[in-house]
Amino acid sequence: MSDSKPKIYCVGGAVRDRLLGLPVRDHDWVVVGSTPEEMVSRGFKPVGADFPVFLHPGTHEEYALARTERKTAAGYKGFNVYAAPDVTLEQDLLRRDFTINAIAEDTDGKLIDPYHGQADLKAGVLRHVSDAFAEDPVRILRGARFAARFDFSFAPETLALMRRMVANGEVDALVVERVWQELARGLMEKHPSRFFLTLRECGALKKILPEVDALFGVPQPAHYHPEIDCGVHVMMVIDDTAKHRCSLEVRFAALGHDLGKANTPADILPRHIGHEMRGVDLLKGLCARLRVPSESRDLALLVAKQHGNIHRAKELRADTIVKLFDACDLWRKPERFELILQTCESDAHGRTGHENDAYPQTEYLMNCARAAQGVNGGDIARVCADKNLIAAKVREARILAVERVVNNNKK
């Protein structure tokens, strides 16, 4: 490309993260003053389906032609895109979501910041660049994710705009695949509770995750910690999973472990009667609606069903512990059982003043699991005269092995 034009700028997250002193993973580039034909003639490979985006022939990084967008229909795909050599850098930056993402850097390292993103970076503020923000409901989810990542607050006018977007039904146009994508990324941020609390603050949580929204305001059982409600408890739990750098599957299970409490009468809560199964039904519906991947769904459902038993592990008989192992499919998926225990440990930490408590159930149940797994089914099968009894004999041996652990623990 010539020295005078077109001009290339690094934009978006790479500039933002460098200014924050964070590692820069990917670079995005905008090209001002070029055409698709010229980009192709210089070896760039076109990849954009909705607007002109090209891969650099050497680095394979994305280069997009400067463009403007005009809303033409509901949802986040209803845009008319205009990309031409006369589109300026300022016009391209104007269509971006937040001022912190609307900073560009030229090839000489000079920053171009027409919308004062650097000031908002220093102040820790998420502020929309223009009212065009309201044209794309995904930006609400992205804003919630940035709040969870950077622990930034929202400018009052931006939060007000997000509320209007929800009230106007823009969130209803979100497709489930994009909701799950942003939800999963939000869960993996440093402060995942901020993602959900942001959505709740602007009214979007009730639309997107009504099962989670319904937990707020519901009192915890008296023997838990009644000073926090069920919604706050779940937020503390998911933040604990982030603190311990747990996997997405564990974090999603933490989010969905207590959904049944919102529909359970307060006098039932202390006895753990009924709310687990109601929670399982609600969780099944949520997973089906958002098309949650099977690994996250299956772990979450097991945690929702079994976390009460795991918390009370030391009160359980050996045969009940083996039933727990059966239900969790310990024999075929021992790694998943460890993920279940991780989730339950974070659940126990989701109470004020108990964030760093020990959780002896993990070591206890792992000792029981190792004892049960040590039973050699092949040896039992070889000496069992009636092959129809092999499964029962293996089960008996597993119960005896676990019983020895249970009895040792009582000494």
Of 153, 179, 202, which residue constitutes the final position of a domain? 202
Whether residue 284 has pLDDT greater than 90 = yes
Instruction: Please indicate, yes or no, whether residues 95 and 160 belong to a single structural domain of this protein.
Output: no
Alpha carbon distance 209, 165 (integer Å): 17
Look at residues 156, 186, 202 and tell me which one is the last residue of a structural domain: 202
Peptide bond into 293 cis (omega under 30): no
Return the closest-CA partner of residue 39 out of 4, 61, 59, 63: 63
The Cβ-side half-sphere exposure at 274, using a 13 Å CA radius, reads 10
Phi, psi of 105 (to 5 degrees): -135, 130
Whether residue 214 sits in one domain with residue 314: yes
CB atoms within 10 A of CB 156: 10
What is the pLDDT, as a whole number, of residue 77?
Answer: 54
Could you tell me if 283 and 328 lie in one domain? Answer: yes
Half-sphere exposure of 335 (CA within 13 A, CB side): 3
Distance of alpha carbon 20 from alpha carbon 123, whole angstroms: 11
Domain shared by 215 and 145, yes or no: no
Report the distance separating Cα 182 and Cα 205, nearest Å: 13
Number of domains in the chain: 3
Do 131 and 246 lie in one domain? The reply is no
Return the closest-CA partner of residue 390 out of 402, 375, 374.
Answer: 375
287 in a domain, yes or no? yes
Q: Model confidence at 269, in pLDDT bands (50, 70, 90)?
A: very low
Asked if the structure places residue 384 within a domain, the reply is: no
Residues 183 and 321 reside in one and the same domain: no
Kindly state whether residue 85 falls inside one of the protein's structural domains. yes
With cut-offs at 50, 70 and 90, classify the pLDDT of residue 206.
very high
User: Among the listed ranges 158-162, 212-216, 239-243, 377-381, which one has the minimum average pLDDT value?
Assistant: 377-381
| Domain limit, last residue, from 202, 220, 235 | 202
Query: Do residues 64 and 196 share a domain?
Result: no
Q: How many other CB atoms sit within 10 Å of the CB of residue 370? A: 13
383 within a domain of the structure (yes/no): no
Domain of 28 in residue numbering reads as 7-136
Q: Are residues 197 and 287 in the same domain?
A: no
Nearest to 250 by CA among 171, 337, 315, 154: 337
How does DSSP assign 218-286, residue by residue?
A: PBPPTTS-TTSBHHHHHHHHHHHHHHTT--HHHHHHHHHTTGGGGGS-TTTGGGT-SHHHHHHHHHHHH
Query: Of 49-53, 138-142, 359-363, where does mean pLDDT reach its minimum?
Result: 49-53
- pLDDT of 183 higher than 50: yes
Please check whether residue 374 lies inside any domain of the structure: no
pLDDT at 101 exceeding the cut of 80: yes
Instruction: Assess whether 359 and 214 both reside in one domain.
Output: yes
> Burial of 385 by CB count in 10 Å (0-12 exposed, 13-18 middle, 19+ buried)?
exposed
Verify that 284 and 185 share a domain, yes or no.
Answer: no
Does this model's pTM top 0.85? My answer is yes
User: If pLDDT is split at 50, 70 and 90, which confidence band does 1 have?
Assistant: very low
Q: Are residues 127 and 42 in the same domain?
A: yes
Mean pLDDT of the chain: 89
Q: Determine, yes or no, domain membership for 332.
A: yes
Q: How far apart are CA 333 and CA 5, in angstroms?
A: 59
Residue type, 255: L
Confidence of residue 270 (pLDDT cuts 50, 70, 90): very low
Q: Which residue has the higher pLDDT, 50 or 68?
A: 68
Q: What is the share, in percent, of the chain residues with pLDDT greater than 90?
A: 68
Give the CATH number, domain containing residue 92: 3.30.460.10
Kindly tell me if the per-residue pLDDT of 283 is higher than 50.
Answer: yes
178 and 218 together in one domain: no
pLDDT exceeds 70 at position 90? yes
Residue 391 lies in a domain: no
Q: Establish if 395 belongs to a structural domain.
A: no
Tokens of 249: 């599957």
